[in-house]
Amino acid sequence: MRSGFLGIDVGTQGLKGVIIDPAGESFWQAVSPYPTQTPRPGWNEQYPQDWQRALENVLEQAASAPARILAIGLTGQMHTSVFCDGAGSPLRPAILWSDNRGADKVRDLFDTYGEKELWQRFGNLPLVNYTLIKCLWVRDHEPEIWRQVRHVAVAKDWLRFIMTGNWGSEVSDASGTYWLSVARRQWAHAWLQELDLPAEWIGPVAESTVVVGTNRIGPEALRGIPVVAGAGDQPASALGTGVIAEGTVGISLGTSGVVFWPRPRFEPPPHASIHAFCHALPEHWYWMGVTQAAAYSLTWLHERFGPTATFDAWTDEAATAPPGSDGLLFLPYLNGERAPINDPDARGVWFGLSSAHRRSHLIRSVLEGVALSLKDVVETMQALATPHRLVATGGGVKSALWAQILCDALGSPIDVVEDPGAAVGAARLAQLSQDSAAGERLRPTVAWTAEPEPSAVTVYQSAFARYRKLYQTVRPLWASQS
């Protein structure tokens, strides 16, 4: 029987378990899905009890895997917030990372403290996605629930409590709460006191590879196994793909789009919409910018206008339209937008539509709009530094066309790398808790390299200028609707 390390990922669509061997190769996996509720536009919730049932399902399957599990690592959706009573039972559905209901609480913080003071304290500015904003919303809009709160945790840290009985977090996920001094990798206790948020609600904060307890649930064969603090899904994914080197920028084209830039020290980011967070390895940090609806934009289009066609058929159809989609532009702001515009009121736009456009243009314009939104994030980050290597992961770049569009939009070669996922990163953190030298073997595995096509680069340079101008033009119209 092989020795292995189990990684658990509390994802947005389901919980995934992966087992890797000491060489870092994945040889077993299982997935257990659960639903998302949308009680109002812009609101997204899940029941933590669904996560627990999914975890128990995956642990049952893992106990039958041909492996002797040595340690368990955790990861999950960052910012997603669980509000619990003294026994650890959820008091309401978890508020997801993508939920925009707290926009007024962000404005309240700016009105009270000002941008300069918030920036000086944290090197980051508050965004509607952060756990703190969700806390302030529950406090002000659900006072009966707030009076019962005794613990607050992000998704994977609530499952950590279920598994070990211990409350707490680790530096990478804690970076997305707006409670952490990211530069010092410690809770900002004075800030917590100022906001009347008891530190005992959240427990201690550790580095990602620290063992925080032993598993007490599921099959007997998995009980007593060390549980490692783990990491948020984005740093865990970066660890899984090996994106840890300075100067290598990872672009994940998944449901959301993420630009992930490892940094060798803490540095305030170049723009308020860019996060400066702790990486999952000690003394490592990163900048991160997020496009809210990346591959989701294509999913949205597909579900409404062609659900019987395969995605491959759709991208083949998109390839029949020329670069630039004959002037058709798409802003992918279906659920508001994070980087770089940081505008929860933003909405999707097609601009330049004419009777000459076919469905192929609509599909391609969505692929291009997402690529231009990621270019917007990369260029915002490049205000302070220039990467020497771009690597791309995620379901979107499984499409050679979409990967090429992204390459042409950025005007730079892109290495498309194997993406084992956040669960593999969590398993690698479990391995690192027992073998620190394993981190030295982390390198991206390149599947192929996209090279920019000069004629398409020229088209997208012009399209990008129009893309940015279009947002500035329609922005006042969104604000007037809110």
Query: pLDDT at position 421, please?
Result: 85
Cα 288 to Cα 235: distance, rounded to the nearest angstrom: 10
pLDDT bracket for residue 478 (50, 70, 90)? confident
Query: pLDDT at position 482, please?
Result: 56
pLDDT per residue as tens digits for the range 360-370: 999 999 999 99
Residue type present at position 80 = T
Say whether pLDDT at 270 is over 80: yes
Q: Out of 42-56, 232-246, 276-290, which region has the weakest mean confidence (pLDDT)?
A: 232-246
Cα 289 to Cα 281: distance, rounded to the nearest angstrom: 19
Say whether pLDDT at 439 is over 80: no
Active site residues: 233
Give percent of the chain with pLDDT exceeding 70.
98
pTM reported for the whole predicted model: 0.87
pLDDT per residue as tens digits for the range 179-212: 999 999 999 999 999 999 998 999 999 999 999 9
Q: What token pair was written down for 138?
A: 């529950």
pLDDT per residue as tens digits for the range 289-305: 999 899 999 999 999 98
Greater confidence (377 vs 1) lies with 377
pLDDT bracket for residue 345 (50, 70, 90)? confident
Rg (CA), the chain: 22
pLDDT per residue as tens digits for the range 100-152: 899 899 999 999 999 889 988 888 889 888 999 999 999 999 999 999 999 99
Cα 227 to Cα 223: distance, rounded to the nearest angstrom: 10
Domain 2-241: CATH class, spelled out: alpha beta
pLDDT bracket for residue 441 (50, 70, 90)? low
Query: pLDDT at position 440, please?
Result: 62
Computed over every residue of the chain, the mean pLDDT equals: 93
